[in-house]
Amino acid sequence: MIIDARELNELTRRATQLMSETADVPRVLRNRLGAEHHLAQAAEAMQGSIEDFVRELRCFDISAQPIVADIFEES
Amino acid sequence: MYIPEADFEQLIRTLSEARSRATELAASIGARLGTEHRLAKLAYAASLKVENMLREVRFSATQNPDTGGGLAELQDALQTETQPVTPTPINSSVGMPTGVQTMSSFAAQAGLESEHWVSLFVEDLTSQLRASGGITFEVAERLLQQRKDDFLRDFLVARRMYRTYPHLFPESHGQMGRAEGHTISQ
């Protein structure tokens, strides 16, 4: 299965929304608990992971996907 | 340094919604590109981080002195008082519409209040079934988690209202005072 441009746009939109919705979590925890607290650091790691995912999604090249023959076309 | 109860509420709400969104995204990408694809792995990793974060924040909320032990009590109640419900057997030879009807009547037969979380959860399930014609374990888990979060949120709001405005609850003030220390009934 592959992703077409419309699906990719939708996935990117949802991922960006996820990133913006969670953006305040590290800030709140850092302000309340300090940057060294494990919760604040876990929140930073979470946000970093989401940002990596969104960055990769934005860079995803649709044309680089392998062409897969549709099995229904062969029947 | 501590986190006020209102901040915990907001964090739990945000992370709970984020977890649902991240899980759906990971599942969508995994289904399209395969779970071994780099993008799918990143999506799963992000989803896992959100899940762990939510778990840690929930745990911290139960330890927070500002919550006065109520959250811990509630978490205990969620763990210990949730009784398994034996659903009415569904005839597999019958089509989905009958199955949906069976689930709807199940909540009524259980004799629960219309706003009880089980009733609302069953409604969520049947709505999902009607809307999409099927349901997965992941969706059912997400719906259940949303109900748990709603319950926790409602409890925190109710308790804050009760503490802040006790004069608004004259009829229950004496009862709730006596009931303190007892397990919260769901």
ipTM of this complex prediction, to 2 decimal places: 0.83
- The DSSP symbol for B145 reads H
Question: Measured between alpha carbons, how far is A48 from B29 in angstroms, rounded to an integer?
Answer: 19
A69 or B37: whose pLDDT is higher? Answer: B37
What residue of A is the nearest CA neighbor of B15? A22
User: Across the interface, which of B3, B18, B49 has its CB nearest the CB of A21?
Assistant: B18
**What are B172's two structure tokens?**
């229950």
Q: What is the pLDDT of residues B108-156, one digit of tens each?
A: 677 777 778 888 888 888 877 777 777 788 778 878 888 887 787 787 7
- Within an 8 Å CB–CB cutoff, is residue B3 touching chain A? yes
- Within an 8 Å CB–CB cutoff, is residue B146 touching chain A? no
pTM attached to this predicted model: 0.55
Interchain proximity B56–A39, CB inside 8 Å: yes
Q: How close, in Å, is residue B59 to chain A by CA atoms? A: 11
Cβ proximity of B1 and A33 under 8 Å? yes
Interchain proximity A45–B49, CB inside 8 Å: yes
What residue of A is the nearest CA neighbor of B4? A32
The one-digit pLDDT tens for each residue of chain A (75 residues) are 577 888 889 999 999 999 999 999 999 999 989 999 999 999 999 999 999 999 999 998 767 666 555 444 444
Question: Measured between alpha carbons, how far is A30 from A34 in angstroms, rounded to an integer?
Answer: 5
Rounded mean pLDDT, B71-99: 47
SS (H, E, C) B146-184: HHHHHHHHHHHHHHHHHHHCHHHCHHHHHHHHHHCCCCC
For every residue of B11-37, DSSP letters joined together read HHHHHHHHHHHHHHHHHHHHHHH-TTS
- Within an 8 Å CB–CB cutoff, is residue A60 touching chain B? yes
Burial environment of residue B51 by CB neighbours within 10 A (0 to 12, 13 to 18, 19 or more) = middle
What residue of B is the nearest CA neighbor of A3? B32
- Within an 8 Å CB–CB cutoff, is residue B22 touching chain A? yes
What residue of B is the nearest CA neighbor of A46? B49
